[in-house]
Amino acid sequence: MSEQAQSDSAPATSQGNEEQTLFEAHPAMVRARPFLFLLILAFVLAGIATTFLLHIFSLAISVIAGFVLFWWWLQCKRTTLTVTNSRTRLRRGLLSKHTTEVWHHHVRNVQTNQNVFERIMGVGTISIASAGKSGFEVEMSGVPKVNKIKDIIDQNRMGGTQQGHVSLD
């Protein structure tokens, strides 16, 4: 690993300790939208199953549904929320990258939203605002264990334990 990569992944905090990654997540694909996933999967399977009967049409449906499923998966994998003991970073992109980060000592508001179905599936939306800007700077939906992430951020922004470890079970 190069020196540049090492310095980007573990910069020193104001106390002189190394920054530690406490949580990293991608949007949950199936748990966030299970009905959409099942619908697309049904189209893929129906297209494959009926290929022998309607050849071109069913093959086209299967290929299109498979492409939609792949595109959705790629969208989830290209989005990463990383919470360290000093900042929260949201990265989006595959070839080109867009990064937004908020240092925990600047955080003024952490908001989580979950409807009933999202609570059952264990996902939600987290939004983080800092003192420097109006509105939310970091916002991501489909996040697993959203309340645990909020607890980690709260512990580290309020000067809780230096380690900042919160059980994610």
In a domain, 65, yes or no: yes
Taking the C-alpha atoms of 26, 110, 150 and 79 in order, what is their torsion angle to the nearest 10 degrees?
Answer: 10
50 and 92 both lie in a single domain: no
8-17, 28-37, 103-112: which has the minimum mean pLDDT? 8-17
In a domain, 127, yes or no: yes
Give the CATH number, domain containing residue 90: 2.30.29.30
pTM metric for this prediction? 0.67
**155 phi-psi bin (left φ>0, alpha ψ -120 to 50, beta other):** alpha
31-40, 51-60, 82-91, 138-147: which has the minimum mean pLDDT? 51-60
Res. 14: pLDDT tops 60:
no
Res. 4: pLDDT tops 70:
no
In a domain, 13, yes or no: no
- How many folded domains does the chain comprise? 2
Average model confidence (pLDDT) across the chain: 78
Instruction: Out of 75, 103, 138, pick the residue that ends a domain.
Output: 75
**With bands split at pLDDT 50, 70 and 90, how would you rate the model's confidence at 53?**
low
In a domain, 9, yes or no: no
In a domain, 113, yes or no: yes
In a domain, 110, yes or no: yes
**With bands split at pLDDT 50, 70 and 90, how would you rate the model's confidence at 8?**
very low
Res. 135: pLDDT tops 70:
yes
Give dist(CA 148, CA 145) in Å, integer. Answer: 5
Look at residues 153, 42, 30 and name the one whose alpha carbon lies nearest to residue 88: 153
Q: Quick count: other Cβ atoms within 10 Å of Cβ 25?
A: 21
Res. 168: pLDDT tops 70:
no
131 and 97 both lie in a single domain: yes
In a domain, 144, yes or no: yes
Residue-number span of the structural domain to which 41 is assigned = 32-75
Res. 20: pLDDT tops 60:
yes
86 and 53 both lie in a single domain: no
